[in-house]
Each structure stands twice: as C-alpha cells, then as structure tokens.
C-alpha cells in the first residue's frame, strides 16, 4: 500500500485506533488542519507529499496499514506499538 492508497475512511480509522485528533495528526504530519479535515470528509485529495506525511505520522504513532487482499484494506496496531 502506498501513500496514495490512503483513503479518508482509512485515515479516520487509523486516527480512531490510536486516539489521535485531527489537530494532533495534522501537527505530527506537518500539514494544515484544514487539509486533513477536507481530506477526511472527502472534499479534496491532498498532494502526494502531504498524503505520504500523513501516513508516515500514523505509522510512527503505531498504525500498520493492511493492504487490500480480497477482504478490503484496513488498519491495525503494529506489534512494536503493543
């Protein structure tokens, strides 16, 4: 799964999994709060570098992205976060 495969529902699910607010994620990813809010509600897709930064911030916080494998893409806590 690449950064460009990050979807609004996956982003919201990842944040919920680790209890991170939009404001906290935006700060951790160094992207604008409005950029993240617009993305999560499906209003716009951020530039690829911002998507990559969002994904990296989530992964650094302990999220592991699960690729599409016939059952749908998803998120889980990484073993190192346990």
pLDDT tens-place string over residues 37-63? 999 999 999 999 999 999 999 999 999
Structure tokens at 25: 């994620």
2 against 49, higher pLDDT:
49
Q: What is the predicted pLDDT for the residue at 71?
A: 75
Res 2 pLDDT > 90: no
pLDDT in tens, 9-25: 999 999 999 999 999 99
Q: Record the pTM.
A: 0.88
Secondary structure of residue 4 in the 3-state scheme: helix
Structure tokens at 30: 């160094």
| CATH class for the region spanning 3-81 | mainly alpha
Burial class of residue 31, CB neighbours in 10 A (0-12, 13-18, 19+): buried
What count of other Cβ atoms lies within 10 Å of the Cβ of residue 43?
Answer: 10
Q: What is the predicted pLDDT for the residue at 1?
A: 53
Structure tokens at 12: 């919201």
């Amino acid at each position: 799964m690449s950064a460009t495969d990050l979807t609004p529902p996956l982003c919201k699910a990842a944040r919920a999994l680790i209890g991170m607010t939009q404001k906290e994620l935006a700060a951790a990813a160094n992207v604008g709060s409005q950029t993240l809010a617009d993305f999560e509600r499906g209003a716009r897709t951020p530039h690829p570098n911002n998507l990559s930064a969002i994904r990296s911030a989530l992964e650094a916080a302990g999220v592991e992205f699960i690729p599409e494998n016939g059952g749908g893409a998803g998120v889980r806590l990484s073993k190192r976060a346990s």
